Amino acid sequence: MNILADENIPQVKEAFSNFGEVRLSHGRHITGEMLRDTDVLIVRSITDVNRNLLDGSNIKFVGTATIGTDHIDKEYLRSRVIYFADAAGCNSYSVAEYVIRAVAKIFTEEKKSFVGKTFGIVGYGNIGTKVAVFARALGFETVINDPPLERKLGKENFRSLSDALQCDVVTFHVPLNKSGIDKTVHLLNEKNIAEIKSGALLINTSRGPVIKNSVLKKRLLENRNIRTVLDVWENEPVIDTELLGLVDIASAHIAGYSLEGKLNGTLFIYNKFCGFMNCKPEWKPDYPQIEEPEIAPDKIDGLEELIDEITGKVYDISLDTELIKKIIAINPEERGRQFDQLRKTYRIRREFNNYSVKSKDLNNTMANVLTTLRFRLT
C-alpha cells in the first residue's frame, strides 16, 4: 500500500511500514497531487482533509492522530466511503496535567489556596473529566458545563456557561463546532467576557477560536486584572503577537504534546487501521527510559507549594512561555514558520505517572493528592 503521513507524527513510519511504503510530508504541504496514487492518509490537525484535497484520489483510509476532528470533512469521507479514524482521548492526561501545572504555578505566585475556590470546566469529555478529578483532589469545587451531556444525562450535575465563567479558574475543553445548537466558535465573546471576574484564571487548551481573541485582548488591554493561560490561538500559526505579549503562560498548541500523548495518537490510529485491515496489531510504541524518575521535594510548606514544586520538576511550563514569546521580536513573515517549528522540535515531556515522589514527610492529604495526580509514592 502507499501511505502518506505527517512527518511530525512520532514513530509513524515504524508503525505502518509493514503495510507498505510510508512517505512523510509536512502537514501544511500535503497536496491533492501527492495523493493521486495514495491509499492511506494519516494527518494531524494542521491538514484540512476535504473534497479539495481528496478529489481524484484513491484514498481508502484517513486517520488523524489528534482528538479534534474539525479539520476533517467527515460528510465528504462518508460520501466517498472512505474509512475515517481519530485518536480521541490519546492525549487527555497530557492536557489535564498541563492545566494543573499552570494552575499550581499561578496560585503559588499569588499565594492563593486551592481549597474553597471554584473551578469552572467547560466541556466534560475525555479531558474535562480528568481535569475535574485532579481539581477536586486539590480542594477545588468544580462547576461543570456541557450542554450536550446535560441533554443526555439530565441537569443534576451540570451548570450554565455563565456559572462556569464566574469561577476562580475557568478552563475550556470543548471541540470546535462551527455551527449548530452546540456551536463553540467564540464561546467566550464580547457578550460574556465581563463574567470572568477580577482575579480569575482563564485557560484555553481546546481550540483557538473558542475564545474570541480580539475580545480577550481588549479586556487585557483595558484592565489586566485576570491571569491568562493560552495554548491555542485563532489563526494558527500566524497568531496575534499583541495578545501573546499580554498572556501570563503561553505555548504553541502543545498542551497535549507529552511523549505518551503523541505516541498514543500513533498507536490509536495504528490499532484502528489494523481493524480496518482485519489483522492483528503487533507494533508497540518505543519509550525511552527516564533518567531521574524519583523526585524528592526540597521543602514542604503547604499543598500549593508542594504541587508547584513537584509538577515543575516534571514539566517546565515557563520554558514554553519563554520560547513562544520570542516570536514577538522576529520578522512578521517568519512568525508562522517559527510557531510550527516550536511544535516540530518540541522537547520530550513525560507524564506524571512516570515519576515517584519520596513521601516520608508528606501528610495524608498531600499523599492522596499526589496519587490522584498519578505520581507514585516511595
Catalytic residue among 44, 173, 207, 349: 207
User: Residue 198 has which C-alpha cell?
Assistant: 477580577
Distance of CA 254 to the CA centre of its chain: 6
Q: Please tell me which residue in 253, 343, 349, 350 is annotated as part of the active site.
A: 253
Query: How many whole angstroms from its chain centre is CA 175?
Result: 11
SS3 259: helix
Among 307, 177, 173, residue whose Cα is nearest residue 231:
173
Q: Identify whether 207 is a catalytic site residue.
A: yes
Strand ranges for 115-268 from DSSP E:
118-122, 141-145, 169-172, 201-204, 227-230, 249-250
Identified catalytic residue from 97, 234, 236, 260: 236
Active site residue 236: yes
| 85 within 8 A of 63, measured Cβ to Cβ | yes
Residue keyed to cell 482528538 = 67
- Separation of alpha carbons 369 and 366, rounded Å: 5
Sheet holding 2-6, edge to edge: 21-25, 2-6, 40-43, 61-64, 83-85
Residue 32 contacts residue 22 (beta carbons within 8 Å): no
User: Rounded to an integer, what distance in angstroms lies between the CA atom of residue 77 and that of residue 59?
Assistant: 10
User: What's the grid cell of residue 316?
Assistant: 517546565
Enzyme catalytic residues: 207, 236, 253
